[in-house]
């Protein structure tokens, strides 16, 4: 009795494993070769006397230069519980080896956050990839 129960359990596991091994796989996500680095300290900062700045640089793997590229850096301010975009800068310059970009807005006391979005398409790829990076919110007193 014990052997037949064990044999049935093993058969069920093996059938399940065979079914899983032959199941179709999901389509792979497009490969992304570029990334964004916030500088100088990875968060927005105040520039005397009245500006808040966020920025940094985009770089890509040297072996995977994109055919199309765009980076958008935005600066957001927390107002009445919502993040409101206060400034934006974009570039379609393909990093070689990097693309520097920054944006700024008039300083207001409160929470600020930088956001960078990169869209890219590698040669031979039919679809573009999109990635977003965010700084942690930082409180700035003007």
**Residues 17-49: tens digit of each pLDDT:** 443 444 444 444 556 789 999 998 899 999 987
Residue 55, exposed/middle/buried by CB under 10 A (0-12, 13-18, 19+)?
A: buried
Question: What does the alpha-carbon distance between residue 82 and residue 88 come to, in Å, rounded to a whole number?
Answer: 17
pLDDT digits (tens, 9 = 90+) for 96-130: 899 999 999 999 999 999 999 999 998 888 889 99
What pTM does this model have? Answer: 0.76
Residue bearing the bigger pLDDT, 19 or 133: 133
The 10 Å CB-count burial string (b at 16+, else e) for 84-99 is: eebbeeeeeebbeeeb
The CA angle 138-88-127, to the nearest 5 degrees, is: 105
Which tens digit of pLDDT belongs to each residue from 1-10? 443 443 444 4
Distance in angstroms (rounded) separating the CA atoms of residues 58 and 10: 52
For the chain, list the domains and their CATH numbers. 34-140 (2.60.40)
């Amino acid at each position: 009795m014990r052997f037949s129960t064990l044999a049935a359990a093993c058969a069920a596991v093996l059938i399940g494993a065979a079914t899983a091994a032959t199941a179709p796989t999901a389509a792979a996500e497009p490969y992304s070769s570029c990334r964004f680095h916030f500088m100088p300290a990875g968060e927005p900062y105040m520039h005397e006397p009245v500006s808040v700045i966020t920025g940094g640089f985009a770089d890509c793997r040297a072996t995977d230069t994109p055919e199309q590229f765009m980076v958008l850096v935005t600066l957001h301010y927390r107002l009445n519980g919502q993040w409101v975009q206060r400034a934006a800068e974009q570039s379609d310059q393909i990093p070689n080896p990097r693309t520097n970009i920054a944006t700024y807005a008039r300083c207001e006391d409160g929470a600020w956050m930088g956001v960078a979005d990169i869209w890219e398409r590698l040669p031979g790829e039919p679809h573009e990839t999109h990635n977003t990076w965010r700084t942690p919110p930082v409180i700035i007193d003007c």
